[in-house]
Amino acid sequence: MSVFNRVPFKRLTVGLIAACGVLALPTSAIGQDAAAPAPASTSQENDIIFLASEELRVTQETTDDLCASGSSIVVVGAQADHLFLAGGDLRVSNARVRDVVAAGGDIQLEAATIADDVIIAGGEIAAKETCEIGGSAVIAGGEVRFE
């Protein structure tokens, strides 16, 4: 346990997120030829989906958990049980999820339907009036706006 005493918590967190992202790489479209047609977004049953990239656009539909890490993440039309996001700029639009857990610099929730809880930490957080939250909301940020 002496290693954990010398390594800052931020580095451990980044390392964990990077390790989770590596698990998704063999089955993801990251690094494939840009000219190749993108696979259609389909609904599938999975235990958990990990996505990691510098700039990431998520349209996945799943019956379980969806985890994404990157400097810029845009979630459009995704459907999942739990949505976990970590990155710089996060935008969730037209998503249907049960819970959202997000940490990032700037976070925007637009036209999202969240059936249960929201836990968000970030620099600037904006939730539009088209964002529906069915449970509790724990939000901490430098600037929090409900528009």
CB atoms within 10 A of CB 71: 13
CB atoms within 10 A of CB 80: 25
Percent pLDDT > 90 in the chain is 7
Q: Average pLDDT of the chain?
A: 74
Q: List, for residues 110-131, the tens digit of each pLDDT value.
A: 988 899 998 999 888 888 999 9
Look at residue 79 in the predicted model and tell me its pLDDT.
Answer: 86
Q: H or E element: which one contains 111? A: none
Contact of 116 with 100, CB cutoff 8 Å: no
d(CA 143, CA 33): 40
Categorize the per-residue pLDDT at 62 as very low, low, confident or very high, splitting at 50, 70 and 90: confident
Categorize the per-residue pLDDT at 135 as very low, low, confident or very high, splitting at 50, 70 and 90: very high
Residue type, 72: S
